[in-house]
Amino acid sequence: GENVEQHPSTLSVQEGDSAVIKCTYSDSASNYFPWYKQELGKRPQLIIDIRSNVGEKKDQRIAVTLNKTAKHFSLHITETQPEDSAVYFCAASKARGSGNTGKLIFGQGTTLQVKP
Amino acid sequence: EAQVTQNPRYLITVTGKKLTVTCSQNMNHEYMSWYRQDPGLGLRQIYYSMNVEVTDKGDVPEGYKVSRKEKRNFPLILESPSPNQTSLYFCASSSSGQGEQYFGPGTRLTVT
């Protein structure tokens, strides 16, 4: 079945540095790739997503890049701040036929620590 | 206020005692899902529903049942819970199959 691998599992950076989290997916039919942030004790929340017809998307300090050929996508956070400390999850899904299935495969998560 | 609610938030039960975790959303979303979150394994989809009376298995459906009789509700049923179902469970809803998932607050289940 479809699989999403996420690396690294933990990442520690100094405040102001950049952080990069990478994911690879197995199903070439995947066409939607969201990223979720989960703060300690909270529910996951969408921070950015990208579709397969786009190679890169930015939203202020965060960006996501997609390489369909290599089947991997990455989350980039620039100028990290302590409030960026959280667990980040990538995910992938594909449309089945003419409609969307709603099936979403998540990566294992990356715990990001931003040290002041 | 747009929200997804789950009940109960915490539950400790014993092996074999049937339980139901309720999930309700007030956003008129068609899509709803159940996930379990375990350390090192991320979020794994248990079941999802594309509309009323339309459900499908996710990655880890064994030991769980769901129903979608109304658009707003999507209960998760554990007919005979076992200790390996001890986990943090999230319900989520979205307006499309490839749109933002709005998660509930989570239900922490312990099966002894």
Task: Give the mean pLDDT of B31-44.
Answer: 95
Over the stretch A59-88, which tens digit does the pLDDT of each residue have? 999 999 999 999 999 999 999 999 999 999
Over the stretch A37-63, which tens digit does the pLDDT of each residue have? 999 999 999 999 999 888 999 999 999
CA-nearest residue of chain B to A88?
Answer: B42
Specify the pairing of strand B10-13 against strand A110-115: unpaired
Q: What pLDDT score does B49 carry? A: 94
Q: What pLDDT score does B1 carry? A: 84
Q: What pLDDT score does A95 carry? A: 74
| Amino acid (one-letter) located at B25 | Q
Q: What pLDDT score does A103 carry? A: 84
- All residues of chain B having their beta carbon less than 8 Å from the beta carbon of residue A43 are 90, 103-106
Grouping H, G, I as helix, E, B as strand and the rest as coil, residue B74 is coil
Q: How far is B45 from chain A (nearest CA, A)?
A: 7
Specify the pairing of strand A110-115 against strand A10-14: parallel
Q: Give the whole-number percent of chain A exceeding pLDDT 70.
A: 94
Say yes or no for a CB contact (<8 Å) between B41 and A101.
no
* Residue A88 CB partners (closer than 8 Å, separation 6+): A21, A35, A36, A37, A38, A47, A75, A109, A110, A112
Average pLDDT, chain B: 95
Task: Give the mean pLDDT of B2-13.
Answer: 96
- Whether pLDDT at A101 is above 90: no
Q: What pLDDT score does A97 carry? A: 62
* Cα–Cα distance measured from residue B40 to residue B49, given in angstroms and rounded to the nearest whole number: 26
